[in-house]
A and B are shown apart, each in its own frame.
Chain A
Amino acid sequence: MSSVLYDTPGPKARRRTLVGSIVVGLAALAVLALVAMQLDEKGQFEVEKWAPLFDPTDDSFPLVWDRLGEALGNTLIAALLAMTFSLVIGTLLAVSRITAARWYRWAVVGLVEFLRGVPVVIAIFFAARALPEWGVDLDTLWFLVIGLTLYNSVIIAEIVRAGVNSLPKGQREAAESLGLRRSQVLSMVLLPQAFRAMLPALISQLVVVLKDTSLGFIIGYEELVRVGGQVVQNLSNPIQTYLVIALIFIIVNYALSRFAVYVEHRLSRSRKGLPAEVDEAAMEQVVAQTGGAGGA
């Protein structure tokens, strides 16, 4: 394997790599053993801490997994609702930023920049505490969805705008020269192509939203983390329970990330069929800026 840092290794380097691998492997085993000893000493390997989560014959097993399954469902519902709303509102924001008159565009830009600076946990908290005070009484699910949508719609607006801007100028010019109206140019020519280019970025954003639903525990929405807390209260096994919850999140999100990569590959492979080349550098830059370590 060769990279920018080193050449394809020769026999000597391969030997060194092998020795290095063995040393690192042994060191890792030593660290693991140390951690295991510490865990054992504190009684973390006792059966009653693990059985309710991993042993189907245990009495609490069905109950615990019933609750966790329900919680996973709640998490997914919140994420999907938030993503759908963000997609609609984000697209509208992007379209109005692209087409709007100057005075109005400033309002949209201001709103986008403002909401991008607010931590998502504050947005959720705001929705859950301020809305009831204004007489809007909803389920906690909707407060969570509103908070997540507030935060993510502006990020998606930026992604959409980047997608539209990354299209070659000729697309718009050609559409306009056919006599299409501005709204037609956007809805029939630019947006469909932009969405295709944005698809990987949108799937990655879904991962961010999914992770952010875990903040629902702050406002009392029964998603995975909160239900995990209830399980811990009954079984007093925080390490084991949060391990399971972390695994659930990691598996779902990892699958989504792989899917995003797969979609990206497919799109770049079928570039010939793609109507127009997109400016990938511009696209990537915006994704890096908006995505960042986005959310939690």
Chain B
Amino acid sequence: MNVIFDNLSLYLEGILKTLQICAWSAIGSLVLGTLVAACRVSPVPPLRWFGTSWVNVFRNCPLTVVLFFTAFGLPEIGINAEYFWFGVLGLVLYTSAFVCEAVRSGINSVPAGQAEAARAVGLTFSQSLANVIMPQAIRTVVPPLGSVIIAMIKNSAIVGAFGVGGELFSVIDTLTGSRGIAVVPVLIGVVLGYLILIIPAGVLLGVLERKVAVVR
């Protein structure tokens, strides 16, 4: 236990860095995933094909391989950035496929009669989308979207294993590698760190779910 308290600042820094990765990735994947979902439900066939292949590629490809592409592939074609951003990019691409599926199933869960009724009373496409479909879709989207984000927090550890310095997973290397501290207590500290991040996220999601839940 002493290891954890002696290096508390290192652990806290790690948690902060992980939070940073997660915040950027959450924003990025929510935006990108929603765009891809919009493609998947659009009336234009090429957009639908694009959306479908996007989801099939990134849902079936391990995050590790996606990260290899962003971290080692992009520099090959002359795109250079900090490792941090390569990691975030990989996590965004990977998570966006799951966000897309959650959003799409939310839109599809709205009964078609709702939109037909909206059109029948003369609402335009954007009005029916903004006033009728979206408010209902968002409610069904919250629970699966929440678990996608929680899974993303856990996946951020893989980004750390790729050597984004200072992140919670890399604390293991810092402490056991250079300072030669026994590995088990260090690992327990890292596990606790992730639990500190994930358990409140789960509780928050539960509260949110109860708030937006509708009984159908």
Kindly list chain B residues whose C-beta atoms are within 8 Å of the C-beta of A129: 176, 183-184, 187
Q: A32 to chain B: closest CB distance in Å? A: 12
Find out whether the CB atom of B161 lies under 8 angstroms from the CB atom of A218.
Answer: yes
Kindly list chain A residues whose C-beta atoms are within 8 Å of the C-beta of B147: 288-293
Q: A281 to chain B: closest CB distance in Å? A: 9
- Within A1-27, the residues touching B (CB, 8 Å) are 1-7, 9, 13, 17, 20-21, 24-25
Q: Is the interface of A mostly helix, strand, loop or mixed?
A: helix
B47 within 8 A of A: yes
Of B6-14, B37-45, B80-88, the stretch lying at the interface with chain A is: B37-45
What number of A-B contacts does a CB cutoff of 8 Å give? 183
A-B contact pairs, 6 of them (CB 8 A): A122-B169, A212-B62, A214-B64, A245-B65, A246-B66, A295-B151
Kindly list chain B residues whose C-beta atoms are within 8 Å of the C-beta of A104: none
- Within B188-216, the residues touching A (CB, 8 Å) are 190-191, 194-195, 198-199, 202
Name B162's closest neighbour in chain A (CB-CB).
A218
A250 within 8 A of B: yes
Question: Interface residues, chain B, CB within 8 Å of chain A?
Answer: 41, 43-47, 50, 56-57, 59-66, 68-69, 72-73, 76-78, 94-95, 98, 102, 107-108, 110-112, 114-116, 119, 125, 129, 133, 143-144, 147-148, 150-152, 154-158, 161, 169, 172, 176, 182-184, 187, 190-191, 194-195, 198-199, 202
The CA-CA distance from A141 to B111 in the complex, in Å, is 48
Find out whether the CB atom of B144 lies under 8 angstroms from the CB atom of A25.
Answer: no
Find out whether the CB atom of B184 lies under 8 angstroms from the CB atom of A130.
Answer: yes
Kindly list chain A residues whose C-beta atoms are within 8 Å of the C-beta of B63: 211, 214, 296
Name B56's closest neighbour in chain A (CB-CB).
A254
Find out whether the CB atom of B144 lies under 8 angstroms from the CB atom of A288.
Answer: yes
Question: Interface residues, chain A, CB within 8 Å of chain B?
Answer: 1-7, 9, 13, 17, 20-21, 24-25, 28, 38-39, 41-42, 44, 114, 117-122, 125-126, 129-130, 133, 207, 211-212, 214-215, 217-218, 225, 228, 232, 238-239, 242, 245-246, 249-250, 253-254, 257, 285, 288-296
Find out whether the CB atom of A250 lies under 8 angstroms from the CB atom of B77.
Answer: no
Cβ-defined partner of B150 (8 Å) among A42, A207, A292: A292
Kindly list chain B residues whose C-beta atoms are within 8 Å of the C-beta of A253: 59-61
Q: A150 to chain B: closest CB distance in Å? A: 11
Find out whether the CB atom of B72 lies under 8 angstroms from the CB atom of A119.
Answer: no
The CA-CA distance from A164 to B195 in the complex, in Å, is 28
Find out whether the CB atom of A17 lies under 8 angstroms from the CB atom of B43.
Answer: yes
Find out whether the CB atom of B60 lies under 8 angstroms from the CB atom of A207.
Answer: yes
Q: A117 to chain B: closest CB distance in Å? A: 4
Kindly list chain A residues whose C-beta atoms are within 8 Å of the C-beta of B183: 129-130, 133
The CA-CA distance from A212 to B157 in the complex, in Å, is 13
Find out whether the CB atom of A4 lies under 8 angstroms from the CB atom of B110.
Answer: yes
Q: B44 to chain A: closest CB distance in Å? A: 4
